[in-house]
Amino acid sequence: MKHPRTRRVVVAGGSPAKMGSALAVLTSHGFDATGVFSEREAHQAISRADEIFAVVAGGFLAEPAQNRLRAAAASRGAILITANIGHQDPTEYFSTHIVPQLVAADDRPCAQATAIP
pLDDT digits (tens, 9 = 90+) for 29-51: 999 999 999 999 999 999 999 99
Residue 109 confidence class, pLDDT cut points 50, 70, 90: low
Name the fold adopted by 10-112.
Answer: Rossmann fold (3.40.50)
Q: How far apart are CA 94 and CA 60, in angstroms?
A: 16
Closest CA to 91 of 30, 26, 16, 36: 26
Position 6 scores a pLDDT of 66
| Predicted local confidence at residue 5, as pLDDT | 56
pLDDT in tens, 48-80: 999 999 999 999 999 999 999 999 999 999 999
Locate the domains of the chain by residue range. Answer: 10-112
The whole-number pLDDT of residue 106 equals 86
pLDDT above 70: percentage of residues in the chain: 87
